[in-house]
Amino acid sequence: MSTKHQVASFSILVVLALAATLATIAVESASSQNSTNQQQSSNTGSNGTNTVSGNSSNTAAGTKVSIVEEASEMGDQAYDPNPVKIKSGDSVTWTNDDSQIHTLTSGAGSDDPNLGKDFDSSMLSQNQTFSHQFTTAGEFPYFCQLHPTMVGKVVVS
């Protein structure tokens, strides 16, 4: 390899390193913007209060449930822990820890005529959370509308 070539390769390396540094800075500023611009939406459903948030470090009170990695393959282990047992008035906060989009929708499955009546997160992207406060006792099965084999249950006493 000639000196000219070595100089040329070195220059390319410098340019690549600069590009990588700039990309890192761009990502960092984007994520810090993200953490200061949290969007929250709430609505009151027939059974308590729902909150969707894009903030994974959301400090919502109550029982935490993870939508696990590879959840679409995990059946009744997709939501962890499952089932969850709580008292009336308690909240449950689900976090999508998977890279795929999921929902958690009340009901026994896609054919349930009452599907989504108690709670429905709609589409949760990675790291998004959904909270629901349970104000009536009972058993609340739920599932993922995109992958109906993903099932879970909340038992409220």
- Residue closer to Cu ion by CB (options 90, 93) is 93
- Residue closer to Cu ion by CB (options 115, 146) is 146
Smallest gap from Cβ 147 to Cu ion, in A, equals 4
User: For residue 86, which of 154, 136, 143 has the smallest C-alpha distance?
Assistant: 154
- Burial of 77-109, coded b for 16+ CB within 10 Å and e otherwise, reads ebbbebbbebeeebbbbbbbbbebbbbbbbbee
- Residue closer to Cu ion by CB (options 68, 146) is 146
Smallest gap from Cβ 95 to Cu ion, in A, equals 14
**Distance of alpha carbon 136 from alpha carbon 55, whole angstroms:** 27
Smallest gap from Cβ 45 to Cu ion, in A, equals 21
- Residue closer to Cu ion by CB (options 92, 144) is 144
Q: Are 156 and 137 in contact (CB under 8 A)?
A: yes
Smallest gap from Cβ 89 to Cu ion, in A, equals 28
- Residue closer to Cu ion by CB (options 84, 151) is 151
User: For residue 143, which of 94, 97, 99 has the smallest C-alpha distance?
Assistant: 94
**Distance of alpha carbon 154 from alpha carbon 84, whole angstroms:** 5
Which residues contact Cu ion by CB under 5 A? 102, 144, 146-147, 150
**Distance of alpha carbon 131 from alpha carbon 121, whole angstroms:** 8
Smallest gap from Cβ 29 to Cu ion, in A, equals 32
